[in-house]
């Protein structure tokens, strides 16, 4: 039950994050947005990490931290910010829902994961739920710029790889340590990106109250707290379950629109919600590793 509460909570947080990204990317730039998001998120977690500083030793899998930080925060968050300079936040959220499909495919191709038939059904059923919410207007996605759509798809591939990699290599590492390391490395990626592109952070950014709200919401809530929830689901359930949150993000983005902007909730929204939840349930059924399945057949 706790993992489903975490799933819904994370979807609400990340649904709102697309709004914050859209607002912040113009004044802060693509890599400035990445830096601010990661740095603010790390600031939230570091006091808690300090209380567990004895657990931070040289024996920790630092190479794995580097890989996860780059592919779960630095690169995909930069790609998402870049996408939102070309497409709207709703389109970005819908494309982000491809993440569980990429996670499943990468698991099968590179991590010896075997998905059962009902899991494949769940993956596709969740995607159908997203299509229902879109009223099956798939062609509208490809009317946008290739950079916006293409960079979002690459971001979902990064998420899929990092989720499977985390499950395999960081399963026994504390969630707080993994989340803190990921955000700190992501912040470094943002700084490197800023230096290569010559973009800086304008002083006026911290004087604008809406920008401050966006930084706090995107960084502290959407990165710091959200990362704890995400890695909790990876450890307690599976990479497929954790990334299935992206099926709910288009839905929660629309809920935020109804709450903050007075937009109506359509019948498609309700049908899509039912379809998505059934898909999440089927897609997160217990799976077996290929090696275990092969040993069972050989026995």
pLDDT tens per residue across span 203-219: 778 778 888 888 888 88
Residues 263-282: pLDDT tens digits? 677 777 778 778 877 887 77
CA triplet 125, 126, 129: central angle to 5 degrees? 90
In this prediction, residue 63 carries a pLDDT of 93
- Reported for 150-155, long-range contacts at CB under 8 A and 24+ positions apart, including other chains, are 151/79, 151/80, 151/82, 151/83, 152/79, 152/80, 152/83, 152/87, 152/92, 152/95, 152/96, 153/95, 153/98, 154/76, 154/79, 155/75, 155/76, 155/77, 155/79, 155/80, 155/83, 155/96
Direct distance between the N- and C-terminal alpha carbons of the chain, in angstroms, rounded to an integer: 35
Structural Rg of the chain based on CA atoms: 19
How many CB atoms neighbour CB 271 within 10 A? Answer: 13
**Does residue 114 carry a pLDDT above 90?**
no
E strand map for the chain:
113-114, 288-289
Please tell me the number of Cα atoms within 13 Å of 92 on its side-chain side: 29
Q: Residue 231 in contact with residue 243, Cβ under 8 Å?
A: no
**Does residue 297 carry a pLDDT above 50?**
no
User: In this structure, what token pair is assigned to residue 136?
Assistant: 């099956």
Residues 158-188: pLDDT tens digits? 998 998 898 888 888 888 898 899 999 999 9
Question: 189: which residues sit within 8 A by CB, 6+ positions away?
Answer: 31, 34, 38, 69, 70, 73, 74, 75, 78
Q: Residue 60 carries which DSSP code?
A: S
């Amino acid at each position: 039950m706790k993992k489903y509460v975490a799933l819904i909570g994370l979807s609400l947080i990340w649904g709102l994050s697309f709004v914050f990204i859209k607002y912040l990317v113009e004044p802060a730039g693509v890599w400035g947005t990445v830096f601010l998001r990661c740095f603010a998120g790390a600031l939230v977690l570091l006091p808690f990490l300090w209380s567990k500083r004895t657990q931070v030793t040289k024996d920790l899998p630092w190479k794995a931290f580097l890989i996860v930080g780059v592919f779960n925060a630095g690169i995909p968050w930069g790609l998402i910010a870049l996408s939102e300079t070309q497409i709207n936040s709703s389109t970005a959220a819908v494309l982000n829902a491809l993440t569980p499909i990429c996670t499943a495919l990468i698991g099968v191709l590179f991590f010896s994961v075997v998905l059962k038939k009902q899991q494949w059904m769940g993956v596709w059923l969740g995607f159908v739920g997203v299509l229902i919410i879109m009223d099956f207007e798939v062609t509208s996605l490809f009317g946008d710029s290739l950079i916006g759509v293409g960079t979002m798809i690459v971001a979902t591939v990064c998420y899929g790889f990092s989720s499977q990699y985390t499950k395999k290599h960081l399963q026994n590492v504390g969630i707080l340590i993994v989340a803190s390391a990921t955000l700190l490395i992501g912040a470094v990626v943002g700084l490197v990106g800023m230096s290569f592109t010559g973009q800086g952070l304008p002083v006026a950014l911290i004087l604008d109250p809406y920008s401050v709200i966006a930084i706090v919401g995107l960084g502290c809530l959407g990165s710091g707290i959200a990362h704890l929830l995400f890695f909790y689901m990876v450890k307690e359930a599976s990479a497929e379950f954790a990334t299935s949150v992206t099926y709910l993000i288009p839905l929660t983005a629309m809920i935020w629109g109804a709450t903050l902007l007075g937009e109506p909730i359509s019948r498609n929204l309700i049908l899509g919600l039912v379809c998505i939840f059934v898909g999440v349930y089927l897609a997160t059924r217990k799976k077996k590793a290929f090696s275990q399945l092969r040993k069972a057949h050989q026995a």
